[in-house]
């Protein structure tokens, strides 16, 4: 199954131009996009959301959304122009010669059909005369290839019964089953934990090596790109702004936008400071002791212990990072503090108030002392309320006597603190970008001048450069206003940037804690090491070196 290196690249895109018609008229989405993908090569396409990288991918397979039209250029696949190919012939290329791996959403797979049947379907579409048993055999084989254990049995299950990482493997298997020449992977690991991301990326890399498969990898994560790509195409506003070999791009980026993208990535520093420096001088702003949180599903079922005996404290005016994979209980701790999850046992003290004992009005009063910033700024702001109303809401709830003008003054002050124009009080959330919305979220959390801020993955839904700007605002405010903060994140580099100390959680328990930098550079436990190793560095050379050590360690 080894293909000889073909003289022509399997995919060559020339001057691709794409328009979308909207009620306001035509909008140019792509302009003169050109690049090529050679056999056995991984080409990374990077850019922020809206840069046109996904549209480029969809154009190649001609599965564009309604209203989008290729108005110029050629998409040559082995010498045939896909842009003008008949739809029947295009169908025979889709899934067979060029396959697509989508980002894992709950709905990437049909929810009511078993995973195995859906992968088989991909095979049987292109091999209609092959008997079912043969297709099934092929399906199980492919699932095993991408590392799904018990593939024969598990393939009978439905998408909702598989974890995100497993579903992503299923989608990759679906793309691989017809042995394509080119795989287009659109943010294949974005929704996944770092450790699972590392596994999925390893699967793709191995396939490339073994089958000399060409891969077009689309992502906004510079770390993933550094880890995977041989060549990189940087896109901005529908245009290719830079194209270079991976190591060249990372070591000497030419275009200012590329430099901006690279600078925006939080870089873990190399220096390892002395370990075990603990300050206990000031009273803790937040003291969590032996916290247990259990969810009771129903009267017949046993409860789930999401947090299992966790103790830590956040010294006044400091930031503590809380790190772990999804399911580690990090968000649950944040929820327990603000009263959204039950405190089954243990205690949570904010300043000198024990939260567990509080009920009703007292609990409401205590909530004045902390603010919360949520992960998804799009859904944590009420779409029918203006920005001003959103930010003023904590004031309305807790400062009953405050006059309207005083409230307005405070809202304006808060907007200025998060570096948004004061005139925006009358705008609605949908008129703002993701980063701006998250600033509003921060402003709202700060409205009552809280002693403690709980930030639950506040930037993980944002593009890197936007993330950098929001983190800067956040850091600046923290230093100026001096609030304490519990910063929950899966991104070690972000945590290291903001916080002195870090607590690493696994399955509801603390596995490691200490100075953020030393945990990051010299993790003591297996789990923390895995977490650190899994996060790809935005530096190809270093990333390659890590692969080597990882392999030699095994």
Partner 1 sequence: MLRSLLPRLLSSVAVFLLIAIGLFTLVRLAPGDPIDMMVPPELAGAPRDAYIASVRERFGLDQPIVVQFWRWLGGLMTGDLGFSYTTGRPVGELLAGRLGPTALLMGSALFIGLVIAVPAGVIAAVRRNTIADYTISSVSVLAIAVPSFFLGMLAIYTFAVKLQVLPSSGMHSTGRDDLGDLLLHMIMPVGLLALANAANFIRYVRSGVLEELEKDYVRTIIAKGGTRTRALRHALRNSLMSLITVLAMTIPIALSGAVVLEQIFSWPGMGQLAIDALGNRDYPVLIGFGLYIAVLVLICNLIADLSYTIIDPRVRTAR
Q: Out of 42, 55, 122, 198, which residue is the one contacting partner 1 (CB under 8 A)? A: 122
Least CB distance to partner 1 at residue 103 (A): 9
Q: What is the DSSP string of 377-421?
A: TTTSS-TTS-HHHHHHHHHHHH-TT--HHHHHHHHHHHHHHTT--
The CA distance from 406 to 50, in Å, is: 39
Selected range binding partner 1 among 112-120, 333-341, 519-527, 536-544, rule: CB under 8 A? 112-120
| Residues contacting partner 1: total by CB under 8 A | 30
Q: Does 158 bind partner 1 (CB under 8 A)?
A: yes
Q: Which is nearer to partner 1, 17 or 114 (CB)?
A: 114
Q: Is 469 within 8 Å of 260 (Cβ atoms)?
A: no
110 lies in the site for partner 1, by CB under 8 A? yes
- Given 112, 271, 278, 548, the residue binding partner 1 (CB under 8 A): 112
* 407 phi, psi to nearest 5 deg: -65, -45
Among 15, 27, 89, 92, binds partner 1 (CB under 8 A): 92
Q: What are the strands, taking DSSP E only, across 170-282?
A: 182-186, 214-219, 231-236, 239-245
Among 53, 94, 236, 410, binds partner 1 (CB under 8 A): 94
- Return the axis-axis angle of helices 115-126 and 132-145, rounded to nearest 10°: 120
C-beta separation of 110 from 133 below 8 A: no
Could you say which DSSP state residue 188 is in?
A: T
- Within its chain, how far is the Cα of 133 from the centroid? 38
| CA 285/CA 169 separation, integer angstroms | 43
Q: Does 202 bind partner 1 (CB under 8 A)?
A: no
- Specify the DSSP class assigned to residue 474: H
Residues linked to residue 243 through DSSP beta bridges, in sequence order: 233
Q: Nearest approach, Cβ of 157 to partner 1 (angstroms)? A: 8
Q: Is residue 167 at the binding interface for partner 1, with CB under 8 A as the rule?
A: no
CA distance 311 to 319: 16
Kindly give the residue spans of alpha helices, DSSP state H, lying in 447-512: 464-481, 492-498
173 binds partner 1 (CB under 8 A): no
Nearer to partner 1, 122 or 261 (CB): 122
Among 3, 14, 74, 91, indicate the residue that binds partner 1 (CB under 8 A): 91
Binding residues for partner 1 restricted to 28-67, rule: CB under 8 A: 61, 63
> How many other β-carbons are positioned within 10 Å of the β-carbon of residue 465?
18
**Residue 135 interacting with partner 1 (CB under 8 A):** no
Q: Is 126 near partner 1 (CB under 8 A)?
A: yes
**Which residue stretch of 105-113, 338-346, 445-453, 523-531 sits at the interface with partner 1 (rule: CB under 8 A)?**
105-113
C-alpha distances (whole Å) from 357 to each of 197, 360, 369, 492 are 41, 10, 16, 34
Q: Which stretch, 118-126, 134-142, 410-418, 542-550, contacts partner 1 (CB under 8 A)?
A: 118-126
Applying CB under 8 A, does 161 fall inside the site for partner 1? yes
| Angstrom distance (rounded) from CA 91 to CA 109 | 19
Contact call for residue 303 and partner 1 (CB under 8 A) = no
Among 12, 20, 80, 125, binds partner 1 (CB under 8 A): 125
Instruction: Pick between residue 68 and residue 391 the one whose CB is nearest to partner 1.
Output: 68
Q: Would you say 4 or 24 has its CB closer to partner 1?
A: 24
Residues of the shown chain interacting with partner 1 in the complex, contacts defined by CB under 8 A: 61, 63, 91-96, 99-100, 102, 105, 107-114, 121-122, 125-126, 158, 160-161, 171, 174-175
């Amino acid at each position: 199954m080894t293909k000889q290196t073909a003289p022509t690249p399997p995919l060559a895109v020339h001057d691709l131009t794409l328009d979308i018609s909207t009620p306001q008229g035509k909008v140019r989405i792509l302009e003169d996009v050109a690049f090529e993908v050679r056999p056995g090569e991984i080409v990374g396409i990077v850019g922020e959301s809206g840069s046109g990288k996904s549209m480029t991918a969809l154009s190649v397979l001609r599965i564009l959304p309604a209203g989008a039209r290729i108005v110029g250029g050629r998409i040559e696949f082995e010498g045939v122009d896909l842009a003008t190919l008949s739809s029947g012939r295009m169908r025979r290329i889709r899934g067979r010669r060029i396959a697509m791996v989508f980002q894992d959403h709950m709905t990437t797979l049909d929810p009511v059909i078993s995973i195995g049947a859906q992968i088989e379907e991909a095979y049987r579409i292109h091999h209609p005369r092959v008997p079912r048993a043969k297709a099934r055999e092929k399906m199980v084989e492919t699932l095993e290839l991408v590392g799904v254990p018990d593939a024969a049995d598990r393939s009978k299950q439905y998408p909702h019964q598989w974890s995100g990482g497993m579903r992503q493997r299923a989608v990759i298997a679906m793309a691989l089953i017809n042995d394509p020449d080119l795989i287009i992977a659109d943010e294949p690991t974005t929704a996944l934990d770092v450790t699972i991301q590392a596994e999925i990326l390893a699967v793709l890399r191995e396939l490339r090596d073994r089958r000399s498969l060409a891969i077009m990898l689309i992502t906004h994560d510079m770390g993933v790109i550094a880890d995977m790509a041989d060549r990189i195409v940087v896109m901005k506003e529908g245009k290719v702004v830079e194209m270079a070999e991976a190591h060249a791009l990372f070591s000497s980026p030419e275009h200012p936008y590329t430099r901006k993208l690279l600078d925006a990535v939080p870089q873990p520093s190399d220096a390892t400071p002395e370990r075990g420096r603990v300050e206990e001088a000031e009273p803790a702003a937040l003291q969590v002791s032996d916290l247990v949180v259990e969810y009771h599903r129903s009267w017949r079922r046993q409860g789930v212990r999401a947090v299992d005996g966790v103790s830590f404290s956040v010294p006044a005016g400091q930031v503590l990072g809380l790190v772990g994979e999804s399911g580690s209980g990090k968000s649950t701790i944040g929820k327990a503090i603000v009263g959204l999850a039950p405190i089954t046992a243990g205690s949570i003290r904010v300043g000198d108030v024990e939260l567990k004992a509080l009920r009703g009005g007292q609990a409401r009063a205590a909530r004045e002392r902390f603010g919360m910033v949520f992960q998804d700024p799009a859904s944590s702001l009420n779409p029918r309320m203006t920005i001003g109303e959103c930010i003023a809401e904590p004031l309305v709830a807790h400062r009953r006597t405050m006059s309207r003008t005083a409230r307005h003054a405070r809202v304006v002050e808060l907007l200025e603190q998060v570096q948004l124009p004061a005139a925006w009080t009358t705008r609605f959330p949908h008129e703002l970008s993701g980063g701006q919305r998250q600033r509003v979220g921060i402003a709202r959390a700060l409205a009552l001048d809280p002693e403690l801020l709980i930030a639950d993955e506040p930037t993980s839904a944002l593009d890197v450069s936007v993330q950098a700007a929001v983190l800067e605002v956040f850091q600046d405010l923290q230093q100026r206003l001096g609030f304490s903060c519990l910063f929950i994140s899966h991104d070690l580099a972000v945590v290291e940037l903001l916080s002195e100390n870090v607590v690493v959680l696994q399955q509801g328990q603390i596995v490691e804690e200490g100075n953020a930098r030393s945990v990051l550079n010299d993790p003591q436990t297996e789990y923390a090491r895995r977490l650190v190793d899994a996060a790809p560095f935005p530096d190809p050379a270093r990333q390659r070196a890590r692969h080597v050590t990882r392999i030699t360690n095994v």
